[in-house]
Every structure is written in structure tokens, then in C-alpha cells.
Amino acid sequence: MNPIDKSIVQPALDSFLNRDVYLHLETTNGAYAAHNRESNMTVGAYIRNGRISYGRGIITGDGPYRVGLKMELGWVYAEGLTDFEMEQEGQLLLAGHDQEGRLAVALELSLHPFEL
């Protein structure tokens, strides 16, 4: 992955406009967060292969970045994004890594289902 360049990521978001896309969205503070007392709670959530369509998709902020995807009936939102990758055709990977390089948040879009 490379540090996010909005001038590349914004057109990539636009390329999915009004299409059926598969979404991977997650956030995590690690399965051992409570065990390690890094915080009081272990929290995390993920959606793998949610199928969505959005008519407006924006990346904003000065880094770490935020992304909002406006759907007909709702929103997809992610905050803390730092890096991106577009190596696979029809696939955009965005992730937020902490200072140690650990993934804390990910928002990924693909025209084809993500592998299970």
C-alpha cells in the first residue's frame, strides 16, 4: 500500500458511482485489547461482501482521511484512513494503520466479491 493521494483515490471512488459494488468495512482495536489493557474494551466490527451502490463518494481530510459514500437509503463512513492500494482490477483498498503499522480501520470496494 502507499500513503493516500486524494488525487488518485477520488477518481477511483468515482469509478464505482452508481454501480453494484462489494464492500469490506472494518474497524478493530485488536482481539487482545482488553487482555493487554491497551483499553478497557475489545471492540471491532466488520462487513465482508456487503453489496451496496452509492451516488456520491468523497474522500476528505488532510490525513488521516475520511471517506463517506452516500447511498439511496443511507451512508457508509470510515475515518482514520492512511493508505491505499489499487493493484487488482476493479478493486480499491483503503486502510488506516497506527504508528506501529497495525491495521485499525479498512474500507474496501470491489466490482467482484472479496475472497472468503
Partner 1 sequence: MERHVLVVFPHPDDETFGCGGTIAQFAKSGVPVTYICGTLGQMGRNMGKPFFATRESLPKIRETELEKACQAIGIQKVIKLGLRDKTIEFEDPELLADRIEQILRELKPSLVLTHYPGYAVHPDHNALGDVTIRAISRLSDQERPIVHAHAFARDCQDVLGPPDIVNDISDMAEVKLAAIRAHRTQSQLVLGRLANGQLKKPSSKDSYSHMLRRESFWTYHF
DSSP summary character for residue 66: E
Residues 97-116 contacting partner 1, CB under 8 A: 97, 100-104, 106, 108, 114-116
Minimum distance from residue 97 beta carbon to partner 1 (Å)? 6
Q: 5 vs 85, which CB is nearer to partner 1?
A: 85
Give every CB contact of residue 73 below 8 A, 6+ residues apart in sequence: none
Residues 61-80 contacting partner 1, CB under 8 A: none
Cα-only R_g, the chain: 14
What SS3 class is residue 73?
A: coil
CA distance 49 to 113: 6
Which one among 2, 85, 112, 113 touches partner 1, defined by CB under 8 A? 85
Which positions from 7 to 36 touch partner 1 by CB under 8 A, shown as an x/- string? Answer: -----------------x-x-x-xxx--x-
Q: Is there binding between residue 95 and partner 1 (CB under 8 A)?
A: yes
Stretch that binds partner 1, among 4-12, 43-51, 54-62, 69-77 (CB under 8 A): 43-51
The secondary structure element, H or E, covering residue 93 is: strand 91-97
Dihedral sign from CA coordinates of 35, 37, 38, 42:
positive
Minimum distance from residue 33 beta carbon to partner 1 (Å)? 10
